[in-house]
Chains A and B, each alone.
Chain A
Amino acid sequence: MTTQIGFASAPAQARIVRPSVLQQIWSSRADYLYVLPAIIVMLIVIAYPIYYTIDLSFFETPPGLQLRDKNFVGLENYATILSSNVFWRVTLNTVIWTFASTLIAFVLGYAAALALHRDFAGRAVLRAILIIPWVISAVAASYIWKWMYHSDFGILGAVMVQMGLVDQQPNFIDNVHTVLPSLIVVNIWREFPFAMIMIMAGLQTVPEQLLRAAKVDGASTWQRFWHVTFPYLSGVSTVTILLLAVANFNSFIIPWIMTGGGPSNASHIWITHIYELAFGRQRWGVASAYSVLLFIILMALGYFYVRALSGNEKKEHGA
Chain B
Amino acid sequence: MLVYTALPMIWMLLTSIKSGFAAMQFPPQWWPSEPTLASYQKLLDPQNSVGQDFLRFFWNSLFVSVCTTIMAVVVAVPAAYAFSRFSFPGRKFLFFAVLLRNMFPAVIFLVPLFILMRVLGLVNTHGSLILTYLTFGLPLAIWLLKGFYDNIPVQLEQAARIDGATRFQAFLLIVMPLSAPGIIATAIYSFIGAWNEYIYAATFLTRNDQLTLPVGIQRFFSENTTDFPGLMAASFMMSVPVVVLFLVLQKYFVRALTEGAVKH
B109: Cβ under 8 A from any A Cβ: yes
**B24's contact among A111, A153, A198, by CB below 8 Å, is which?**
A153
**A291's contact among B11, B107, B113, B263, by CB below 8 Å, is which?**
B107
Question: How distant is the Cα of A257 from the Cα of B103 in the complex, in angstroms?
Answer: 22
Note all chain A residues with C-beta closer than 8 A to B51. Answer: none
Note all chain B residues with C-beta closer than 8 A to A11. Answer: none
Are B78 and A37 in contact, CB atoms less than 8 angstroms apart? Answer: yes
**B258's contact among A4, A161, A201, A306, by CB below 8 Å, is which?**
A201
Are A189 and B4 in contact, CB atoms less than 8 angstroms apart? Answer: yes
**B138's contact among A38, A144, A169, by CB below 8 Å, is which?**
A38
- Shortest Cβ gap from B187 to chain A (Å): 15
Are A7 and B15 in contact, CB atoms less than 8 angstroms apart? Answer: no
- Shortest Cβ gap from B32 to chain A (Å): 13
* A280-319 Cβ-contact flags toward B at 8 Å (1 or 0): 0000100110010011001101100110010011011000
A39: Cβ under 8 A from any B Cβ: yes
List the A residue with the shortest CB-CB distance to B137: A41
**B88's contact among A24, A236, A295, by CB below 8 Å, is which?**
A24
Question: How distant is the Cα of A278 from the Cα of B232 in the complex, in angstroms?
Answer: 31
Note all chain B residues with C-beta closer than 8 A to A200. Answer: 254, 258
Note all chain A residues with C-beta closer than 8 A to B78. Answer: 33-35, 37-38
**B203's contact among A155, A279, A291, by CB below 8 Å, is which?**
A279
Range, interface on chain A: 35 or more
Question: How distant is the Cα of A298 from the Cα of B218 in the complex, in angstroms?
Answer: 30
Note all chain B residues with C-beta closer than 8 A to A235. Answer: 262-263
**B75's contact among A38, A44, A48, A279, by CB below 8 Å, is which?**
A38
B interface size (C-beta, 8 A)? 99
Note all chain B residues with C-beta closer than 8 A to A301. Answer: 103
List the B residue with the shortest CB-CB distance to A201: B258
Are A252 and B107 in contact, CB atoms less than 8 angstroms apart? Answer: yes
Interface of B is mostly: helix
Note all chain B residues with C-beta closer than 8 A to A9. Answer: 86-87
**B167's contact among A8, A38, A155, A158, by CB below 8 Å, is which?**
A8
Interface centre among B154, B231, B263 (most CB of A within 10 A): B263
List the A residue with the shortest CB-CB distance to B24: A153
B164: Cβ under 8 A from any A Cβ: no
List the B residue with the shortest CB-CB distance to A109: B1
Are A147 and B232 in contact, CB atoms less than 8 angstroms apart? Answer: yes
Note all chain B residues with C-beta closer than 8 A to A52. Answer: 111-112, 115
- Shortest Cβ gap from A135 to chain B (Å): 5
List the A residue with the shortest CB-CB distance to B1: A112
A75: Cβ under 8 A from any B Cβ: no
Are A21 and B89 in contact, CB atoms less than 8 angstroms apart? Answer: yes
Are A302 and B4 in contact, CB atoms less than 8 angstroms apart? Answer: no
Are A38 and B98 in contact, CB atoms less than 8 angstroms apart? Answer: yes
Note all chain A residues with C-beta closer than 8 A to B169. Answer: none
Question: How distant is the Cα of A24 from the Cα of B2 in the complex, in angstroms?
Answer: 56
**B103's contact among A21, A111, A298, by CB below 8 Å, is which?**
A298
Note all chain A residues with C-beta closer than 8 A to B1. Answer: 108, 111-112, 130
Question: How distant is the Cα of A315 from the Cα of B263 in the complex, in angstroms?
Answer: 8
Are B263 and A4 in contact, CB atoms less than 8 angstroms apart? Answer: no
Q: List 18 A-B contacts (CB under 8 A).
A: A6-B87, A34-B86, A130-B5, A138-B196, A139-B238, A140-B12, A140-B238, A153-B25, A153-B28, A158-B27, A197-B258, A198-B262, A250-B107, A252-B106, A252-B107, A274-B107, A288-B111, A316-B264
A residues bordering B, Cβ < 8 Å?
1, 4-9, 21, 24-25, 28, 31-35, 37-39, 41-42, 44-46, 48-50, 52-53, 56, 65, 67, 108, 111-112, 126, 128-133, 135-141, 143-145, 147-148, 150, 152-153, 155, 158, 161-162, 169, 189, 193, 197-198, 200-202, 205, 235-236, 239-240, 243, 246, 249-250, 252-253, 257, 271, 274-275, 278-279, 284, 287-288, 291, 294-295, 298-299, 301-302, 305-306, 309, 312-313, 315-316
Q: Name 12 extra pairs, CB < 8 A, besides A153-B26, A250-B104.
A: A7-B154, A24-B89, A28-B89, A34-B86, A37-B79, A53-B108, A130-B2, A140-B12, A205-B262, A252-B198, A253-B198, A294-B105
B residues bordering A, Cβ < 8 Å?
1-2, 4-6, 8-9, 11-12, 15, 23-28, 74-76, 78-79, 81-90, 92, 94, 96-116, 131-132, 134-135, 138-139, 142, 150, 154, 157-158, 161, 167, 192, 195-196, 198-199, 203, 213-214, 217-218, 221, 228, 231-232, 235-236, 238-239, 242-243, 246-247, 250, 254-255, 257-258, 260-264
